[in-house]
C-alpha cells in the first residue's frame, strides 16, 4: 500500500476520514509525518461549555405539586440535552482534533452512561475528552467520581451496612477486567470499599465518611481496609484490564474479530506504560498489521461515524439541527443515550433491513436537500414528555434543509486528480467492477460522488 493509502486508512480509523483538500497536503507526505500531524492536531482538548446551569437543583427546590413548573423544567432540560448532543456532533464535524474526538467517542461508549442531568452529562463528556489520549487510570478515577456515573450506577445509595453493588459490578464487568475474572464475593467486598462515594450539590465528588465502611475487605485474595481507590489500583495491577481494554479498542480501530496476537502485543505496551493511551495508539498506528488488507475498508461505520464523516467531507450546514437528532434515532445511535451500561454493541449489529436502507438514503438526501420520510422511535426516557402531549403530530415527510458546500468541495480537489482518486477518498472499501462502472458512467464529479455515497461500500471505513 502507498503511503497515501495508509494515511487514508489511518484517518478513516483514527478520525472520521480524509477530505478532498487533504489530498494536496498528504500526497507528498510520509506516513510517519502524517501520524505526527494526527496527534499534533489533537494535542489540546476543547471542552463543551454549552450547559452552564444545573437545572436539577432548581427542580429539586421547586414545589413538587406545581405541575406547570415541573413541566417547564423538564422541557428546558430536554432542550439542554438536545443542544448538548448537537454541540458535540458539530464539534466532531468541524474540529481538526479528529483523533481526540474519535477517542472521546470510544470512551463515551466504554463508560456508557445516561444522565437525566445534561450538566452532569456534559461534565462526564469533558472528562472523557480531556483524558481521551492521556492516562487510563486518571480517566477511570475521574469517571468513577463523576456525578453522572455515581448517579447512574446508584453509588449515592451505596452506604455502610446497606451496600449497593451496582457500581462495583459494572466497574469489573464493563470498565476493567471483564466477565469471568472476578467472583460475586469480589463484588460484594469491593462494593463496601465504595460506600460513601457521592457528590454534593455543586456537582463535586465527596467521600461521606460516616457512610463509608471502614472494615476489612477481602478482594481478589488480598485483605485490608480497602478504600475505593485501592480497589481501582488493584484492578489496574491485573493485566487482564489491559487486555480487556485493548480487545475493545482493537474492535473499534482495527477489526470486528480480534486477533489474539495483536491484542496481546497491544496489552503489553499498554500495561508497561502504566496505562498511557497515546503510546498505545502510536504503537497500533505503526504496526504493519494495522494496514494489512484484511484490516482496511472493512469496519462498519457507526451511525455517528457515518453522519460526521459526511458532514466533514461535504461541509454540511443543517438549517434544522433536529434533522441530526432524527438521523441518530433512525440509525440507532443517539449520543448520550446508550442502549444500556454495556454501550452500543457495534459492528454488524448496526445493520438490519430498515437501518441499512435508511443509511443508504441519508447521504444523498443530505447532499440534495431531499425528503426525509423516516423517523425512528422515541427513546423510552422521552415517554413522560410524550404522555403530556395529547395531540402528537402524525409522522410527515419533511425536507432535510441541508446545504453542502459543493463549491468548496469541487475547488478543493487538486488539479490533475482523476475521478478514481476522488472515488478512493470517498470510499475506504476496495473498489470492485460495479463501482468502477459507476465511476466510468458518471458524467461529472458531483453526480459520481452522490452515487458513491449511496453504495454499501460507503458504509465501511
Partner 1 sequence: MKRRDFLKNSALASGAFLIPSFLKPFEAMASNELSGFKNLVIIQLSGGNDGLNTIVPYGNDIYYQKRNTIAIKPTDLVKLNDMQALNPNLSALKELYDQGWMSIINSVGYPNPDRSHFRSMDIWQTASASDQFLTTGWIGRYLDANCTVNKDPYTAVEVDDTLSLAMKGNKMKGIAVQNPGKLYNNTREPFFKELVSEHDQHLNEDNLGYLYKTMIETYSSADYIQQTSKTYKTVAQYPQTGFANQLKNVAKFINSGLKTRVYYVSLSGFDTHTTQLNQQGRQLRIYGDAVAAFVKDLKQTGKLDDTLVTTFSEFGRRVEQNASDGTDHGTANNVMLFGGRLKKQGIYNNAPDLGQLDNGDLKYEVDFRDVYATLLDKWLNVNNKSVLGTSFRGLDFV
Of residues 43-82, which lie at the interface with partner 1 (CB under 8 A)? 64-65, 67, 70-71
* Residue numbers 286-315 binding partner 1 by CB under 8 A: 297-300
Q: Closest CB to partner 1 among 154 and 201?
A: 154
Residues counted in the chain: 461
Stretch that binds partner 1, among 131-139, 241-249, 259-267, 369-377 (CB under 8 A): 369-377
345 lies in the binding site for partner 1 (CB under 8 A): yes
CA-angle at 415, arms to 413 and 416, nearest 5°: 110
Nearest one of 188, 275, 277, 274 to 231, comparing CA atoms: 188
Stretch that binds partner 1, among 205-213, 243-251, 271-279, 392-400 (CB under 8 A): 392-400
319 lies in the binding site for partner 1 (CB under 8 A): no
* Residue numbers 423-452 binding partner 1 by CB under 8 A: 429, 433-434, 437, 447, 450-451
* Residue numbers 216-255 binding partner 1 by CB under 8 A: none
Stretch that binds partner 1, among 124-132, 141-149, 231-239, 325-333 (CB under 8 A): 325-333
Q: How many beta carbons lie within 10 A of that of residue 447, not counting itself?
A: 12
* Residue numbers 100-139 binding partner 1 by CB under 8 A: 114
Three-state secondary structure call for residue 87:
helix
Rule CB under 8 A: choose which of 387, 396, 407, 415 binds partner 1: 387
Rule CB under 8 A: choose which of 206, 375, 411, 440 binds partner 1: 375
Contacts of 212 (CB under 8 A, 6+ apart): 160, 195, 196, 227
Rule CB under 8 A: choose which of 269, 351, 431, 445 binds partner 1: 351
* Burial classification of residue 214, based on how many CB atoms lie within 10 Å of its CB (0-12 exposed, 13-18 middle, 19 or more buried): middle
Rule CB under 8 A: choose which of 383, 408, 411, 440 binds partner 1: 383
- Residue/partner pairs of 280-284 with CB below 8 Å, 24 or more apart: 280/246, 280/249, 281/14, 281/39, 281/99, 281/103, 281/133, 282/35, 282/39, 284/249, 284/253, 284/254
Q: Closest CB to partner 1 among 67 and 411?
A: 67
CB-CB contact of 47 with 10 (8 Å)? no
Residue 355 beta carbon to partner 1: minimum distance, rounded to whole angstroms:
7
- For residues 393 to 412, the per-residue mask of contacts with partner 1, x marking binding by CB under 8 A and - elsewhere, is -xx-----------------
Q: How many beta carbons lie within 10 A of that of residue 74, not counting itself?
A: 16
* Residue numbers 6-35 binding partner 1 by CB under 8 A: none
Q: Closest CB to partner 1 among 322 and 352?
A: 352
Q: Which residues pair with 207 in a beta bridge?
A: 197
CB-CB contact of 179 with 173 (8 Å)? yes
361 lies in the binding site for partner 1 (CB under 8 A): yes
Stretch that binds partner 1, among 16-24, 47-55, 121-129, 340-348 (CB under 8 A): 340-348
Query: Where do runs of H (alpha helix) occur along 273-352?
Result: 277-286, 303-314, 322-331
Amino acid at each position: 500500500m502507498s503511503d497515501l493509502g495508509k494515511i487514508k486508512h489511518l484517518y478513516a480509523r483514527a478520525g472520521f476520514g480524509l477530505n478532498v483538500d487533504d489530498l494536496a497536503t498528504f500526497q507528498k507526505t510520509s506516513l510517519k509525518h502524517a501520524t505526527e500531524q494526527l496527534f499534533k492536531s489533537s494535542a489540546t482538548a476543547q471542552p463543551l461549555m454549552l450547559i452552564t446551569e444545573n437545572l436539577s437543583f432548581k427542580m429539586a427546590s421547586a414545589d413538587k405539586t406545581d405541575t406547570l413548573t415541573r413541566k417547564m423544567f423538564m422541557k428546558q432540560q430536554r432542550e439542554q440535552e438536545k443542544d448538548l448532543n448537537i454541540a458535540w456532533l458539530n464539534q466532531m464535524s468541524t474540529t481538526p482534533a479528529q483523533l481526540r474526538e474519535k477517542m472521546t467517542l470510544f470512551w463515551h461508549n466504554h463508560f456508557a452512561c445516561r444522565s437525566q442531568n445534561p450538566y452532569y452529562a456534559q461534565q462526564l463528556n469533558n472528562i472523557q475528552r480531556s483524558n481521551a489520549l492521556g492516562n487510563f487510570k486518571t480517566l477511570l478515577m475521574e469517571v468513577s467520581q463523576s456525578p453522572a456515573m455515581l448517579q447512574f450506577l446508584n453509588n449515592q445509595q451505596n452506604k455502610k451496612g446497606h451496600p449497593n453493588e451496582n457500581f462495583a459490578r459494572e466497574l469489573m464487568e464493563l470498565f476493567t477486567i471483564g466477565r469471568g475474572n472476578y467472583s460475586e464475593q469480589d463484588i460484594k467486598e469491593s462494593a463496601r470499599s465504595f460506600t460513601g462515594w457521592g457528590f454534593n450539590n455543586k456537582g463535586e465528588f465527596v467521600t461521606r465518611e460516616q457512610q463509608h465502611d471502614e472494615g476489612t475487605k477481602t478482594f481478589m485474595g488480598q485483605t485490608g481496609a480497602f478504600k475505593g481507590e485501592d480497589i481501582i489500583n488493584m484492578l489496574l495491577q491485573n493485566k487482564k484490564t489491559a487486555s480487556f481494554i485493548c480487545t475493545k479498542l482493537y474492535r473499534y480501530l482495527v477489526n470486528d474479530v480480534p486477533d489474539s496476537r495483536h491484542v496481546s502485543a497491544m496489552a503489553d505496551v499498554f500495561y508497561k506504560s502504566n496505562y498511557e493511551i497515546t503510546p498505545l495508539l502510536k504503537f497500533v498506528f505503526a504496526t504493519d498489521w494495522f494496514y494489512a488488507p484484511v484490516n482496511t475498508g472493512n469496519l462498519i461505520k457507526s451511525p455517528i461515524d457515518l453522519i460526521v464523516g459526511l458532514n466533514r467531507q461535504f461541509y454540511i450546514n443543517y438549517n434544522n439541527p433536529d434533522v441530526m437528532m432524527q438521523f441518530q434515532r433512525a440509525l440507532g445511535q443517539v449520543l448520550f443515550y446508550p442502549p444500556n451500561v454495556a454501550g452500543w454493541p457495534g459492528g454488524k449489529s448496526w445493520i438490519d433491513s430498515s437501518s441499512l436502507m435508511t443509511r443508504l438514503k441519508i447521504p444523498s438526501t443530505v447532499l440534495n436537500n431531499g425528503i426525509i420520510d423516516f423517523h425512528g422511535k422515541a427513546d423510552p426516557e422521552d415517554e413522560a414528555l410524550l404522555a403530556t402531549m395529547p395531540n402528537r403530530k402524525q409522522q410527515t415527510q419533511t425536507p432535510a434543509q441541508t446545504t453542502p458546500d459543493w463549491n468548496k468541495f469541487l475547488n478543493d480537489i487538486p488539479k490533475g486528480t482523476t475521478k478514481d482518486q476522488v472515488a478512493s477518498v470517498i470510499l475506504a472499501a476496495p473498489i470492485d467492477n460495479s463501482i468502477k462502472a459507476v465511476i466510468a458512467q458518471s458524467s461529472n464529479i458531483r453526480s459520481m460522488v452522490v452515487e458513491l455515497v449511496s453504495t454499501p461500500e460507503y458504509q465501511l471505513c
